[in-house]
Every structure is written in C-alpha cells, then in structure tokens.
Structure 1
Amino acid sequence: MRSSLFAAALGGLISNAFAAPTQTEPFLRQVDNQTWIIGNDVWNMTQGLKYGVKLYYKDRDLVGNAVGHYVSYNGAANDIAWSSATIAKKGTHEGTPFIDVKFTANDGDFHWVIFQGLAGAYQYFVNRNLPTLGEFRTLWRLDNNTFPNGKTDLHDKPLPKLADYLPENKVQDETWRTPDGTGYITKYDFSDFIRTQKYYGVYGDEVGSWYINAGKDYYNGNHLKQELMVHRESATGDAVQLNMVHGTHFQVSAVDVFPVGKMWGPWLWYLNDGSKSDADTRAASEFASWPYPWLDDEAYQSRGTVKGKLLLSDGRPAAGAAVFLGDNHPNKTALDMGSDYYYTTYADASGAFEIPHVRTTAAGYALQAWSAGAALADVTTHILFNDVHVTESGKTTDLGTLNWAVSKRTKLFQVGDFDRTSLGFAHGGDPYFGHAIIASCPENIVFRAATTGGNSTCSASKTSDWCYGQTYKGNYTISFRIPTLPDPAPTSANLIVSLAGYSTGASSVVLANGQPVGNLTSGAVGVDSTSGLLNDPSVYRSATAAGEWRLFEFPVPGALLKQGENEVTFQLTRNTTWRGFIWDSIVLEW
C-alpha cells in the first residue's frame, strides 16, 4: 500500500515536471534522498541514485526502456552513485536565467548548467577522489526506436538492427558476423578522432541528441586520439551516445592520476528535431563562445596564449607540423598523457603556430612537434621544448623561433609519408574504421623503392602498392638500388621503422639482404610503456589509419649493403587473426 502511495506521489511529481512549460526558470526538485527532477521549460529528467531516466522532450520520453544517463569509469565497473543534489549557483547570462545543479558523489561532482529555454544543458565534472584509471565517461543510453541513426565527423548512417546481433555469429569483443555472412557488425566501426569532432550524436526523424565539445583541453591524448562515439548496445538495443572524456580504446596505456579539482567540460548536450544543419549551426556558436564566460571558476577562466615558429635545421619552415602542448618534462607519450590539460594545433605554411585559451599553471608545459606529412613527409625527427610557462591570464607566451634538428644522413629509400598514420598505403584510412580490413592485405609484397641518385631500369612502385597493415606470415620486401657506394663506405646505415599502430600477436624478423638486423617482437617493452610492442587494440578494433605510434631504429652494418640491388625484408614469423602491424613509414639512410 505504501509503495502504491509513493508511486502515485512520484507519478504526480513527474507529471508536474512534464508540465514544465509553465515554469519560467530552470529547476531542481527533490523527490526523496535518491530521486531528483531537473529541467526547464523545454525538457526535464528524473535522476535516480545512478541513472537519469524519464527524459521528457516534445511530449515524449526519450529514454523509455533504455538505461538513461550516467557517469562511470573503468567501463561499466563503476557507475557513480549520487548522494545529494543542490543548486550550486543561480544567475543570468546575457539576460537569460540559469542554474548550476551539482550532483555530489565520493568521486567528485557532476554539474548540469540549465538555461531557460535551452533544449539541453551544459555539463561538467570536477574530480575529488577518482582512482587511478583509464576510462572515464558520461553517456546517454536512449530509446532505440527514437534514435535509429548515428553521426560523427566520419560516419552518418543507421545503427545496426538489434535483431542482427546473433549469439552464434559473435567472433570477438563486441563483433559479430552479419546474418548473411557477408560482413561484420561492431561498435568500433562508429569510432572517430575525438579532437576533430564539431558535433556528434544519435538522431531520428523527430529528435536528435548531440554532444558539442567546444573546448577539448580536458581530453587525454593528441591529434590522433581515437575513441568510441556512438553505437548500438548489443544486449538491449539502446542507442548509445558516449562522451569518452578519458578513453583508452585505441592505445596501449592511458592510466592516469588526476589532481583534485581536475575539470572535464563544460560541453553542451543538445536536443533538437534531428536536424544536422541545426546541430552544426549550434556547434559553430558554441565554438565561438568557448571558454564559456558564465562559468564561475577562477582556474577555468585564467588562460593565456602560446605562440612561436618552427624552423627545420635544413632551412625549411616546419609547414603543417603537428604541435602539441602537454606535460612538462614528460615521461609519457603525447597520446598517453591525460592527467591535466592538453592542446593541439598545426603550424601554418611558414611554420608559425598559435594556441589560444591555454590554462595557466605553475607546473609549466612542454611543447612537442612532429611531421604531419605533406611538406614534412620526409622529416623523421621531432622536437621537444620544455618549460613553457603560462602563468598570467590574458598574456601571450612567445617562444620565438624554435630550431628543429633533422637528419643529416643520406636517404637510400623511404616508403610512405612520415606522419604517424597509414594514409597513402592500400586500405589505409579507406575506410578509417572497418573490421577485418587487414585481412585484405596480402601475405607477400615486393615493393620497388625509388632510387636516390643514379639511374635504374626498374620503375618504382606506388605508395599504394604497400598495404597499410601486415597480419599473415610472409615477407614484405623493399627492393632498392644503390648506384654507387660512397668512398669511404659508411660503417653502418640506419633503418627507421615507424609504426602507426600494432596489435599484439604478430612478430617479425627484419632482414637486410637476407641477414637479420633486428626484430619486431610481440610484447617487447622499450624505454617506456609504449615504445616497445605492447598491445594497442587498433587493428582488431577496426582502425586502419592509426593506433599507438611507435618508432624503431635498427643499425644495419655497412658491409651488408652493396652497389646495385639490395633488399630489406619484414618477415612475419608469428601471426594471430586480425592482429599485426599498421605501417607509417620505413626509411633507410646512411
């Protein structure tokens, strides 16, 4: 009887919240110590201990039988439970009332900034006691009939039908054969590069739910950070809209300790009638407004600018270089950094760069830059410049001209642009995400490299004659010609092997004219956690362009090289289905 009365009372509150258009301002209402209702005159949601359900918008519940909204870390292992909810701030911005609703947990505080008349809300999380972890996310799991389609920068297509997920067709981690056996279904095919996103989400003919992350400094990783974005939940059919603010799906390791006060966000969760053009227009407005002036947080608002110019030691400007501002005196790769705040840009044609809205910090930053291909496709080195100080809000830190040392050696051959991706090779980024694409790469390749100096009677192979990956036992051989040996002949040459990604289970012997000069061994550990060949899941999780970048240099005795025809071979001696190498570039110089 008591439960019936409570259900009736709760139903009345929900009904009143559903009638929220009579409200002139955003609201927070407490139902009991584990239930709250938040919203405005456009939408409202019932928040329980962990999950936000009964999302009413345009006279319909957008969650239905799905799980709803929640915040979690380490996958689904820890869905955060909220102990209280309060209005942290009530104010106006440009004449529009808003409230900042704070949900509190032991791990930290999750905020909903709700403006009157806004279809959606700004959200952010402030750390208090998150453990050392890899995955941290917020997400919506929404009604599968209302939201049949997924949209990211790279993808815009229907989500797979739940009926097509047949248990007998499951082949690996969230991957199934299609019922007709002609292809695969996997949530990883909707992945994308997270820092390029303008807006993304799920939508149908009547409603769209979008994330617009105008500021991206709270993300872990660099320009090539890839993540899950949207997908179909295979067990229930929920339409999933993921906000992976700290993710690890396509890299070796990103286990970070977060300082107290680390803030993820704010980003905008936005509802509309499913119009992509409207979401695009709204995103343009959000990007122009970031950092948001209405957020009352001194550390968030205290920002400066970093600028400079990159000049190669051979006199060229570092045109188009990838520029990354991250941890000072780093002990992690740029992709693996994630404790604090990170900024990315590209240099212009003159090598100049400018990074606005950089948070001030006493710890300082380190600036890194590397080739992103094009004019720098031959540049195998990178630059690291520590102790970049951004300590005063509104000020510009001008680094002046930074001199970037490049190799002075003579290049014997190069296969592929040096850009930390497989673009240009067969199937590299074509498509960017697709399960088992690596199985299309052949067992053996003989690639004729262009001759540097002299004449050759053999025509050179095209870059696209080399496949983006190698997964089968066999030989990938580079044939090249040395027209004339120098006098004196160099005692050694340097073989540079740049991998755009690697998934464990494949090992290779590196041969120069049939003699071993090195190996690429599964599980090998280098000077840090990712410079060896530890697993990144890129290959078996559908990525074809990149995963975790690795760089290897193998000395080749000069006596092994001869005037005339020579070969370098990568002989795969151990393989595993849908595992192996993603190539970036291979260079031999002396």
Structure 2
Amino acid sequence: MPGFLKYQYHIIMEKGISGIYNYEKVTNNKDQPLTFGATSTVYRFNPRTMNQATNSVQQGILSNNDELMNSRLVQDTTWQLADSTYYTKYDYAGYIRNSPYVRVFGNGCGAWLISASREYHSDCPLKQDLLVHQDALIANYMTEGHFATPAVTAPVGWSKIYGPWLLYFNEGMDDEMRADAIRQSKMEQDHWPYKWMNETCYPLKRGELRGQIASPIRSMVVLSSSLTEEFDRQTFGFSYPTETNVNGDFKPNRIRPGTYKLTTYPIEGYGIGFQSEKLINITQGKNRVTVDLSVPTEVKWSIGETNRRSGSYQYCNEERSYIWHTLPPADLQFEIGKCEIHTDWYYAQTKPGAWTIRYKDSLNGKNRVLRIGIAAPSYNKGSPILAVDVNDNLINEFHYRNDQSIYRSAPQSGNFHSENIIIPGDLVTEGDNLISLTIRQGSVMYDSINLSDNQF
C-alpha cells in the first residue's frame, strides 16, 4: 500500500470576528510520491433556513432534495424540473480567483466563505469549480477535477498550506449583509498574510513585483512556483495571476519569496496560443522584470479576439445553466464581412455537424495559416473530435481530452488548446473559399479563429 498523506485541519477564532478561520496543511511524509485527486472543505447549513445562494456573479433560490428526487435526472447531479427548466449543482460554479466571497443565506441569516487570497488553488486564472449548491452547501475546492484539473502528485517531503480563509456569519436584510461581507472581505485582503499564522511554510514577509510586458496588446501574467508543470495545469505550487494595463505594466504583490515561472499570454488581438515564459526569483521587498511577448498584429480576417475564453459570442455572457449548450445549431453558415460574431457565432459547437466559414481570398502563391483557439473541448461519453476541411479537402482531425466544462454549464472556458494549421497555397481559390469545422463527437468551445498568409 502506498500510504496516505498527513492531513491537518486548523480552526482559529479571533476576538471580534463573527466567524472562524480555517486552513489545511497537507504533507507527504512517506518515502515515495503520493497522488490524490482532490482536497476540499465543505460546509453544510440548514436548507430550510438558508435556501438562497450566490457565487459573486449570480444569485438565486436553491432547489431542495425533495424537489430533485421527483425530477428527471439528465446527467450527473442535473435535473429537469417540473416547469421544464433545469437545475444542476454546476449552476453556481465559478472562477475561483474571481470569487473573493460566496454565500448561502435566507431568513435574515448569511454564511459566507471569504478568501483574502487564492494563491494556494490549483490550475490557472481560468480555474473554475463548485462554490455553492443545493442543500445550502458552501465548498472550497483547493484542487478538484470537476472541470478537468489534474490530480496532484506530491513528491517526497512536499508540504503545502491551503488557506487560510474565513467562514463568516452575519444577520440582517440582504443588502445589509452583502455590504457588511464586502467590507469584511476588503479587511481580510488588507490583513493578508495573516500575522497570527505560525507555520514555517507560510512566510509572513512577502515580495512585490513591478514588471512590463513588451507587447502591442494587453496580456495575462501568471507567476507559478511549480516549475515542472505547465502554468495552466499546476497542482502542487502557488500561483499569482494578474493582467497588464494598456501600457503593459503589471504589479502583483504579497508573493511568497522563491523561484517562479512567469508566463504571459495575450488577452486581446490575434496571437492565438502565443505565450512567453521566463524564470525569475522573487525576494522579500521589491522586484522588477521585463518580458517580451511577440504576437501577430495583422490577419486576413478574424472571428473574435483571443483571450482563451469565448467572450464575444452568442450565449457566452448568460448566467450558468445546462440549457445553453442545447441551443446552438448543428450546422451553421458564417460569412466573413457580413455575419456578426455576437449573434451569428455561438459560444460552443455542441452537436455533430459542420460550421462553415465563407470568405474571399486571392491567389498569390502563398500558403495560409489558420489559427484556431479552443476555449474548451467536452464530451460526456468519450473524447471530443474536431475535423477541419478547406474547400472540401480534409486538412486535419483533432482529438481532445474531455474537460467536462461545456455540459457542466461553463459558458466561457475550460482547458485551452490551440491549433496552427498550414493551408497549402494550391488549395486556395480565387474568390469564395470555405473552411468547415466539423464536430465528429462531443463539443468544442471557440476562443478565436483567424487566417493569415504568414507563419509569423
């Protein structure tokens, strides 16, 4: 038997705070690497008293078990209710690092999970997971595979602090409780790192970084202490994401001292799949860095701009719901220069069929470069398969690992992939050209698609 990790759960009460602080310390004290799929803390309250919830983005009344037991099960923890609407526990999932607080509440009582920092969570800026759902449940998933985050393989001697976070309680009218919790959330952020922590692997003295990305477009910057993992698949380190401003400047602070992999990628423009990496050392106090990120600035045409999310298309900005992935058409015709991405291109291609892009081109003897950004590939029965044809010629067929995001109500992202496809010049025709994106099985969510006549 490989053995088990050493797991410690801490509860701290501070005078004058209406709540309890919690953190977890996990250690591999065995003589071999150990793998675990999830670590989380779940708080369950009385659903008859607290029957409403918010994930910081959307708010609503939670279904109860009696109602769900009498409803039709559609897929895992997803039901069609008596009024033909759907409820799933993934309705109130969300982006971990964009959720400083979540809560369940009702009858003048509120319970909040307030996180001063999300540095300890797995994955990347687009990491999402369950936050609140039926049974008045609040969840804090430090790492979990609901949206295809990989398992943690902890090396010998590895130890990590998850947290601390605050489970906060208040009373009053809804608006009063929300305003009070927002004040408390800001106070917790101001106090991070907590001075009352007494753990050798929780440094109180932190570093700050002032940097600039030499690039013509805004970028995401991610500092990851896990040097052997991809920044968007990291599981056993600490992660600090931030966005640059219009001048390319960024300034994350309160960073644990140590060596980091700095990764930057565009969040606008045409650089689908482009990124830059650099190792840097963060010391206590002030640190500085400059990074180059080269991206294409001109293309023949583009459907959306790249940010690793389906942030511009039909249904992408709706509240999470199982219903959205059932609505896009199986077949679609999209003409460059005439159709609108906000209404005529959908957030995900969810049914077997072909989405065809029609565009004008001229012969010049050059190859073309088709770049496709996949914001999420999902399938609840196998692996998603996408075929790409140009003027009725099959160019390639791509098989993806299921990230579970689309059918679990994610409207904008899952695991990102990018394809850089060379179209031979002899396949280009004068005038009308057709690119067909055919779903063989599963679903694909698009970040952006563009065409150029240079490899860059």
TM superposition score normalised by structure 1: 0.71
Say if 1:281 and 1:252 are closer, same or farther in 2 by CA, change over 3 A. Answer: closer
C-alpha separation in 1, matches of 2:153 and 2:57 = 29
C-alpha separation in 1, matches of 2:334 and 2:136 = 45
Whether the aligned pair in 1 keeps the contact of 2:55 and 2:102 (CA below 8 Å) is yes
The alpha carbon displacement at 1:463 in A equals 4.1
Equivalent in the alignment of 2:128: 226
Which protein shows a greater Rg?
1
1:420 to 308, 319, 326: 308
**Superposed, which structure 2 residues align to 1:571-582 within 5 Å?**
571-572=438-439, 574-575=440-441, 579-582=442-445
Whether the aligned pair in 1 keeps the contact of 2:123 and 2:149 (CA below 8 Å) is no
CA RMSD of aligned residues (A): 2.0
Equivalent in the alignment of 2:385: 507
Equivalent in the alignment of 1:404: 293
Q: Secondary structure at the match of 1:132?
A: strand
For residues 129-168 of structure 1, the C-alpha deviation after alignment (integer angstroms, 9 at most, x for no partner) is 3941232101111111121111111121111132221356
Equivalent in the alignment of 2:452: 589
Q: Secondary structure at the match of 1:358?
A: coil
C-alpha separation in 2, matches of 1:587 and 1:208 = 47
The amino acid of 2:19's aligned partner reads: G
* Structure with the larger RCO, 1 or 2 (CA within 8 Å, 6+ apart): 2
1:345 to 242, 254, 275: 242
C-alpha separation in 2, matches of 1:324 and 1:427 = 28
C-alpha separation in 1, matches of 2:187 and 2:205 = 22
The amino acid of 1:407's aligned partner reads: P
Equivalent in the alignment of 1:474: 353
The alpha carbon displacement at 1:476 in A equals 0.3
Q: Secondary structure at the match of 2:23?
A: strand
Whether the aligned pair in 1 keeps the contact of 2:212 and 2:248 (CA below 8 Å) is yes
* Residue 144 (structure 2) pairs with residue 247 (structure 1): yes
The alpha carbon displacement at 1:436 in A equals 3.4
TM superposition score normalised by structure 2: 0.91
**Superposed, which structure 2 residues align to 1:151-230 within 5 Å?**
151-166=54-69, 169-180=72-83, 182-230=84-132
Say if 1:537 and 1:192 are closer, same or farther in 2 by CA, change over 3 A. Answer: same
Q: How many residues align?
A: 437
The amino acid of 1:466's aligned partner reads: W
Whether the aligned pair in 2 keeps the contact of 1:217 and 1:341 (CA below 8 Å) is yes
Whether the aligned pair in 1 keeps the contact of 2:52 and 2:104 (CA below 8 Å) is yes
C-alpha separation in 1, matches of 2:81 and 2:58 = 19
Equivalent in the alignment of 1:369: 264
For residues 516-563 of structure 1, the C-alpha deviation after alignment (integer angstroms, 9 at most, x for no partner) is 111123xxxxxxxxxxx0110101111111111111122211110122
The alpha carbon displacement at 1:378 in A equals 2.3
Equivalent in the alignment of 1:148: 51
The alpha carbon displacement at 1:369 in A equals 1.2
User: In percent, how many aligned pairs have the same letter?
Assistant: 26
**Superposed, which structure 2 residues align to 1:386-465 within 5 Å?**
386-390=278-282, 392-393=283-284, 395-399=285-289, 401-407=290-296, 411-431=299-319, 433-450=320-337, 459-465=338-344
Whether the aligned pair in 1 keeps the contact of 2:117 and 2:192 (CA below 8 Å) is yes
C-alpha separation in 1, matches of 2:272 and 2:330 = 28
Q: Secondary structure at the match of 1:585?
A: strand
C-alpha separation in 2, matches of 1:425 and 1:350 = 27
Q: Decide which moves more: 502-511 or 437-446.
A: 502-511
Say if 1:196 and 1:550 are closer, same or farther in 2 by CA, change over 3 A. Answer: same
The amino acid of 1:176's aligned partner reads: W
Say if 1:500 and 1:126 are closer, same or farther in 2 by CA, change over 3 A. Answer: same
The alpha carbon displacement at 1:265 in A equals 0.8
* Residue 170 (structure 2) pairs with residue 269 (structure 1): no
Equivalent in the alignment of 1:498: 373
C-alpha separation in 2, matches of 1:542 and 1:570 = 23
Say if 1:449 and 1:554 are closer, same or farther in 2 by CA, change over 3 A. Answer: same
C-alpha separation in 1, matches of 2:87 and 2:358 = 39
Equivalent in the alignment of 1:129: 28
Say if 1:255 and 1:552 are closer, same or farther in 2 by CA, change over 3 A. Answer: farther
**Superposed, which structure 2 residues align to 1:299-314 within 5 Å?**
299-300=201-202, 301-312=204-215
In the alignment, structure 2 segments of 5+ residues that lack a partner are none
Whether the aligned pair in 2 keeps the contact of 1:366 and 1:384 (CA below 8 Å) is no
For residues 411-456 of structure 1, the C-alpha deviation after alignment (integer angstroms, 9 at most, x for no partner) is 222112211111111111323x110311100111111113xxxxxx
Q: Secondary structure at the match of 1:285?
A: helix
The alpha carbon displacement at 1:503 in A equals 0.8
Whether the aligned pair in 2 keeps the contact of 1:138 and 1:242 (CA below 8 Å) is yes
Whether the aligned pair in 1 keeps the contact of 2:148 and 2:403 (CA below 8 Å) is yes
